[in-house]
Amino acid sequence: MDFDRIKEKLNILADAAKYDVSCSSSGSKRKNTTKGLGDSSGMGICHSYTQDGRCVSLLKILLTNYCIFDCAYCVTRKSNDIKRAAFKVQEVVDLTISFYRRNYIEGLFLSSGIFKSPDHTMERLIQVAKKLRKEENFNGYIHLKSIPGASDELMREAGLYADRLSVNIEIPTKSGLKLLAPDKKHEDFMKPMKKVKDEIIQYKQESKLIKSTPKYAPAGQSTQMIVGATGESDRDIMYSSAFFYKNYNMKRVYYSGYVPISTDPRLPAIGSQVPMLRENRLYQTDWLMRFYGFDIRELLNDDFQHLDMEIDPKLSWALRNRHLFPLDINMADKQLLLRVPGIGLKSTNKIIQARKYRKLNWQHLQKIGIAINRAKYFITCDSREKELKDLTSEQLKQVIIKNSQSKFRKELSPQLSLF
Amino acid sequence: MKEAVLKYDGSFKGFLTCIFDAYDQKLKIVEIVPAGEDQVKLFSETHEIISDELKALRVLKGLKAKISSNGMTRIKWAFLSESLGIEMKLYQMIQYIFSNKKKVDTDYSHPAVLYITNIAKQVGREKHRMEAFVRFRLTKDDIYFAIIEPDFNVLPIIIKHFKSRYADQKWLIYDIKRRIGAYYDLTKTEYVSMELPEDLGISGGNLEYFDPGEIYFQKLWKEYFDSTNIKSRVNMRLHVQHVPKRYWKYLSEKSPFA
């Protein structure tokens, strides 16, 4: 192995791949049954964290950063003057195996610039995955990018070797896409996504009848949207997200605050701040939608198009729906408990378990670990102490903000000083 | 009745034997201490407990009938924390379990149950961290070798993970704090104890012991780690929260070597 050459390629092609947020390695059911290498049947593992606090779970690289497209938001766009490089198929295979054996990674995340044609590119990605599975007997995690415009045939093959497939929609609105990526068509993104979804459904049905049916993308599909590049509203973003969850059975939609990388006048200037707080609020909304039983229309709608940056979306929703509270913690249904600000999934389960044995009071709730400073305004329990409830929602919001600490306090301060 | 202090050999089997004797001889226990830790209370009688497989199994069987499998795991993991006084907390929880007709291992409003649950969670976290932060180095004799120094005694509960993952390579994970390692020879794992040379290091690839390619892979990994960082989003507080500084020594990407 020519280490210096590989090192240089790794530098260029890891740098170019880092704007892809997904690094998940969970949800696959690929067991090591043949005494081979690797097992991805358990939960995902983060083997390290970058200085920006993101999990490093997979070896995330591009096969090449040569690209025939010129999408304004992308670092590898054709017109960008950067160093270009390309890995050979075998080089990626060797690197993945050597890293995996040393317990650095859970597997491979392979994406690519589009060289020659979408099909040509997709074919190479598949070659890497196929080699890993067939020649190296590798059962670790493989995440492949579905290249927009790739043929159905290739997408069907890709799913046989990959655990997850993803195609990044990047721009949440059609008009934004037209503006920033005029060479790409909306349909090119949707076609591979639809093919993969259909195959997953078909393979699942078959495996019910025939147990030996091979696995097809067992960890499902995901996609990613850039936030803050085209002036879209939070409602626009979350409605497209809900659309993908519902119609394409997405496992995950990722939101990526736009990191300025271009002087293109269509985009935020270099040096403008990455909208990390907004990104965080969008993820919170995403979680409420997926795990807390919220319909997206309750959280964002025509009257309420942007999320409140000062407080989390659940608290914001609760303040708009005061008539539903207070809830009796010892009686309320699980679905309602989940809607109380300051009570999460785990606390909900603990409350439900613990209240079978005795009525819970504030001390119990504190020990269970709920965020009393927010929850106390929305619940009653087995105790005479009650919180003042004759505050308006706006007053209550200010009280809660004053009595809580936010890691985003610094970013919020210019807005807070208005009050 | 005289107050009793039980001394045992520090193993889980020994601890369960203590529980058996406590019930069998109707002892009023004030302390259970592993051998080597002398904290004998005044006005109490010290009993030396000898680990007994049959007694331990009977306690285990009794427990299994009264709690969920999750509850059982929590008890085992909390025991591995080796934290001071954990034996008495476990004893209190076990007393509560045996004194109730219903299954009570999820009664988080009971102080001992909640305490054990939380300690077990900490041990679980350490287990997960070791599964994540162990870094193998390839030795000259073709063994993937890693050193750990975990806060809790998690080696016994991480073996399964590594065994199913690295079934086709020989590996050895050595806990330098407790001077015991687990070695997998392609068919089975066994516990080993050995003297390690001082210049072995936790990372790096001393050519006397390691494969010549080893150091290059550590360098490639560091290169990857640096390239994948997004500088405009640096958040060191979050970074340290995820990778507490006491684990940096394992990670070749965090601890620069020659």
| Residue A264's pLDDT band (cuts 50, 70, 90) | confident
Query: What local confidence, expressed as pLDDT, does residue A43 receive?
Result: 85
- CA dihedral angle for residue B170, residue B175, residue B179, residue B184, rounded to 10 degrees: -20
A367 interfacial to chain B (CB closer than 8 Å): yes
Q: For chain B, what percent of residues have pLDDT higher than 70?
A: 95
**CA R_g for chain A:** 24
Q: What is the number of H-type helices and E-type strands within chain B? A: 8, 8
Q: Which residue ranges make up each domain of chain A?
A: 3-299, 313-416
Q: Kindly tell me if the per-residue pLDDT of A418 is higher than 60.
A: no
Q: Closest approach of chain B CAs to the CA of A353, in angstroms?
A: 6
Q: Answer for the pair B139, B109: CB distance below 8 angstroms, yes or no.
A: no
Contact of A318 with A339, CB cutoff 8 Å? yes
Torsion angle (degrees, nearest 10) of CA A310, A312, A315, A321: 90
CB A138 within 8 A of CB A105: no
Q: Is A415 on the interface with B (CB under 8 A)?
A: no
Q: Token digits for A331? A: 């009686």
Kindly report, residue by residue over A323-348, the tens digit of the pLDDT.
Answer: 999 999 999 999 999 999 999 999 99
- Strands (E) in A133-284, as ranges, are 141-145, 164-166, 221-227, 252-257
Tell me how far apart the alpha carbons of residues A202 and A274 are, in angstroms, rounded to a whole number. 41
Integer-rounded Cα Rg, in Å, for chain B is 22
What's the whole-number average pLDDT of chain B? 90
CB nearest B144 (choices: A38, A101, A356): A101
The 10s digit of each residue's pLDDT in A305-326 is: 999 999 999 999 999 999 999 9
What does the pLDDT read at residue B107?
85
Per the CB < 8 A criterion, the answer to whether A14 and A108 are in contact is no
Query: What whole-number distance in Å separates Cα of residue A28 and Cα of residue A32?
Result: 12
Has residue A416 got a pLDDT over 90? no
A379/A325 Cα distance (integer angstroms): 7
The whole-number average pLDDT for the span B89-108 is 91
Cβ of A11 and B227 within 8 Å? yes
A414 CA to chain B: closest CA distance, Å? 20
Residues in A 325-364 with any Cβ partner in B closer than 8 A: 350, 353-354, 356-358, 360, 364
pLDDT at A226 over 60: yes
Q: Which pLDDT belongs to residue B182?
A: 97
CB A94 within 8 A of CB A108: no
Q: Which tens digit of pLDDT belongs to each residue from A349-390?
A: 999 998 998 899 999 999 888 999 899 999 998 887 766 667
- What whole-number distance in Å separates Cα of residue A189 and Cα of residue B230? 26
Q: Name the average pLDDT for chain A.
A: 89
**E strands, A202-251, where?**
221-227
B137/A53 Cβ within 8 A: no
Q: How far is CA A416 from the centre of its chain?
A: 30
Task: Give the whole-angstrom CA distance, residue A31 versus residue A44.
Answer: 14
Task: Note the pLDDT of residue A266.
Answer: 86
**Orientation of helix A118-134 relative to helix A152-161, angle to 10°:** 20
Share of chain A above pLDDT 90, in %: 58
Tell me which chain B residues have a C-beta less than 8 angstroms from the C-beta of A99.
217, 220-221
The secondary structure of residue A71, as a DSSP letter, is -
Q: How confident is the model at residue A417 (pLDDT cuts 50, 70, 90)?
A: very low
Would you state the pLDDT for residue B257?
A: 52
As a whole number, mean pLDDT of residues A139-154 equals 93
CB contact under 8 A, B242 and A55: yes
Higher pLDDT, A151 or B204: A151
Minimal CA separation from B41 to chain A, in Å: 31
C-beta atoms surrounding A245 within 10 Å: 18
Residue A18 touches chain B, beta carbons under 8 Å: yes
pLDDT in tens, B113-131: 999 999 999 999 999 999 9
CA distance A344 to A43: 20
What burial class does residue A372 get, using C-beta atoms within 10 Å of its C-beta: 0-12 exposed, 13-18 middle, 19+ buried?
middle
How many Cβ atoms sit within 10 Å of the Cβ of residue A400? 20
Q: Which one has a higher pLDDT value, A300 or A187?
A: A300
Position A262 pLDDT exceeds 90: no
Token pair in block for residue A45: 């593992």
3-state secondary structure of A174: helix
**What are the φ/ψ torsions at residue A170 (nearest 5 degrees)?**
60, -60
Question: What are the C-alpha distances in Å from B62 to residues B14, B59, B65, B68, B97?
Answer: 16, 5, 5, 12, 10
- The CATH fold assigned to A3-299 is TIM Barrel (3.20.20)
Q: Give the pair of three-digit tokens for residue A260.
A: 């300025």
| Rounded distance between C-alpha atoms, residue A416 and residue A418, angstroms | 5
Mean pLDDT of A235-262: 91
CA separation for the pair A184, A148 (Å, rounded): 8
For A63-115, write each residue's pLDDT tens digit.
Answer: 999 999 998 888 899 999 999 999 999 999 999 999 999 999 999 999 999 99
- Give the position of tokens 């795990």: A291
Distance CA A307, CA A227 (A): 13
**In this predicted model, what pLDDT tens digit does every residue of B4-47 receive, in sequence order?**
899 999 999 999 999 999 999 998 888 899 987 666 666 778 88
For A105-139, letters b (16+ CB in 10 Å) and e give bbbbbbbbbbbeebeebbbbbbbbbbbbbeebebb
Tell me the C-alpha distance between A272 and A278, whole Å.
Answer: 14
Interface test with A, best of B130, B186, B227, B241 (most A CBs within 10 A): B227
Task: State the pLDDT confidence band at A259, using cuts at 50, 70 and 90.
Answer: confident
Tell me the two tokens of residue B131.
Answer: 């599964």
Q: Is B186 exposed, middle or buried (0-12, 13-18, 19+ CB in 10 A)?
A: exposed
DSSP for residue A213: P
Strand-pair partners of A404: none
Angle at alpha carbon of residue B251, lines to B246 and B255, rounded to 5°: 80
Q: Are A27 and A219 in contact (CB under 8 A)?
A: yes
**Who wins on pLDDT, A86 or A267?**
A86
